[in-house]
């Protein structure tokens, strides 16, 4: 059986990654499985353990890193985030396409380790619109919003590293573009 793809999906906080993915995942033919990350950040209202993230203490996170359980990890806005390795490998072996929704430092680690990965970066139409979306979500304090906007400036300078850069201006258009990239990769030898 053909091994599944490893898809790296990045973009600044609030650009709409979650919203785009929810639509993309509805297409069962794409055989996408979402890799649930481990994080030390506090759950937001409505977030579910094991679905959105595995919420852990800093100590638990460090133990997982020390035991070599992480494919990649990074510090972002004061918290640690990382991808458990075993799930990714098991699912790819089953022929499923594993999608990692991760920030740029972690993405860089994955691109170095897994040369065959497919990378997609989602950009906002403008930084003003990005800020509107983060605020509209009403999940972050002022301090965290400022930190995420500052990080977005840096992240937007790293898009050259990615195979595909897609602007999430019109949601449906962005969804179709992401699906087209995955379909094309699936058809490759
Ligand atoms: P991320 O997962 O990248 O942090 P979210 O998916 O939570 O971002 O989206 C942030 C906010 O932007 C949400 O309120 C969402 O409804 C909104 N949003 C997402 N895509 C679009 C779009 N194309 N146009 C306008 N608003 C959008
Ligand atoms: P949030 O706190 O908004 O859920 O996520 C903050 C940032 O961390 C986002 O850019 C998200 O893509 C990234 N992220 C989520 N999980 C991981 C992970 O496992 N590894 C890395 N490197 N980044 C992650």
The pLDDT of residue 189: 66
| Count of domains observed in the chain | 1
Q: Where are the alpha helices (DSSP H) in 85-163?
A: 85-93, 104-113, 127-137, 142-155
Q: What average pLDDT does this structure show over 35-61? A: 97
Q: What average pLDDT does this structure show over 134-151? A: 89
Choose one of 8, 81, 153 to mutate for the ligand 2 pocket test, by most ligand atoms within 8 angstroms of C-beta: 81
Query: Which two tokens mark 146?
Result: 């400022």
Q: What average pLDDT does this structure show over 81-105? A: 97
Answer yes or no: is pLDDT of 88 > 70.
yes
The pLDDT of residue 139: 82
Distance 17 CA to ligand 1 centre (A): 7
Percent of the chain residues topping a pLDDT of 70: 99
The pLDDT of residue 138: 85
H or E segment at 64?
Answer: helix 58-66
**CA separation for the pair 73, 37 (Å, rounded):** 9
Domain interval for residue 43 = 6-187
Report pTM: 0.95
Q: Where does residue 103 rank: exposed (0-12), middle (13-18), buried (19+ CB within 10 A)?
A: buried
**Residue 46, in any domain of the structure:** yes
| Cα–Cα distance list, 172 to 21, 24, 73, 110 (Å) | 11, 10, 31, 28
Q: What average pLDDT does this structure show over 97-109? A: 97
Extract long-range pairs of 106-112: CB within 8 Å, 24+ residues apart.
106/72, 106/73, 106/74, 106/81, 106/82, 107/8, 107/10, 107/72, 107/161, 107/162, 108/158, 108/161, 109/71, 109/72, 109/73, 109/74, 110/6, 110/8, 110/71, 110/72, 110/83, 111/8, 111/161
Q: Which ligand is nearest to the CA of 134?
A: 1
Residue nearest to atom 14 of ligand 2 (CA): 102
List, in order, residues 6 or more apart from 66 with CB less than 8 Å away: none
Ligand 1 binding pocket (C-beta < 6 A) is 11, 13-19, 133, 136-137, 168, 171
The pLDDT of residue 111: 97
**Residue 1, in any domain of the structure:** no
| Cα–Cα distance list, 87 to 84, 99, 120, 188 (Å) | 6, 11, 21, 24
Strands 32-34 and 118-123: unpaired
Average pLDDT for the chain: 95
CATH number of domain containing 10? 3.40.50.300
The pLDDT of residue 169: 98
């Amino acid at each position: 059986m053909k091994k599944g793809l490893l898809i790296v999906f990045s973009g600044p906080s609030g650009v709409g990654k979650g919203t785009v993915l929810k639509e993309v995942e509805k297409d069962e033919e794409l055989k996408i499985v979402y890799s649930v990350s481990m994080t030390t950040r506090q759950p937001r209202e409505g977030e579910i353990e094991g679905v959105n993230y595995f919420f852990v203490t800093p100590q638990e996170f460090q133990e997982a890193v020390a035991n070599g359980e992480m494919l990649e990890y990074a510090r972002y806005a004061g918290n640690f985030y990382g991808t458990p390795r075993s799930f990714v490998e098991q699912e790819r072996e089953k022929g499923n396409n594993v999608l990692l929704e991760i920030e740029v430092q972690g993405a860089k680690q994955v691109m170095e380790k897994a040369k065959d990965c497919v990378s997609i970066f989602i950009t906002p139409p403008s930084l003003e619109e990005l800020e509107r979306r983060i605020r509209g979500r009403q999940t972050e304090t002022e301090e965290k919003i400022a930190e995420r906007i500052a990080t977005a400036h840096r992240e937007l300078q790293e898009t050259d590293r990615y195979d595909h850069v897609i602007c999430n201006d019109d949601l449906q258009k962005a969804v179709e573009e992401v699906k087209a990239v995955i379909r094309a990769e699936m058809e490759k030898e």
